[in-house]
Amino acid sequence: GQQVMQIPQYQHVQEGEDFTTYCNSSTTLSNIQWYKQRPGGHPVFLIQLVKSGEVKKQKRLTFQFGEAKKNSSLHITATQTTDVGTYFCAGQSNTGKLIFGQGTTLQVKP
Partner 1 sequence: KAGVTQTPRYLIKTRGQQVTLSCSPISGHRSVSWYQQTPGQGLQFLFEYFSETQRNKGNFPGRFSGRQFSNSRSEMNVSTLELGDSALYLCASSLTGDHQPQHFGDGTRLSIL
Count residues near partner 1 (CB under 8 A): 24
State the Cα torsion 52-17-80-14 to the nearest 10°. Answer: 140
Q: If binding is defined by CB under 8 A, does position 7 make contact with partner 1?
A: no
Q: If binding is defined by CB under 8 A, does position 107 make contact with partner 1?
A: no
Q: If binding is defined by CB under 8 A, does position 78 make contact with partner 1?
A: no
Q: Give strand pairing partners of 74.
A: 21, 63
CA distance 3 to 110: 35
Q: If binding is defined by CB under 8 A, does position 26 make contact with partner 1?
A: no
Out of 10, 15, 38, 50, point to the residue binding partner 1 (CB under 8 A). Answer: 50
CB nearer partner 1, residue 45 or residue 80: 45
Q: If binding is defined by CB under 8 A, does position 33 make contact with partner 1?
A: yes
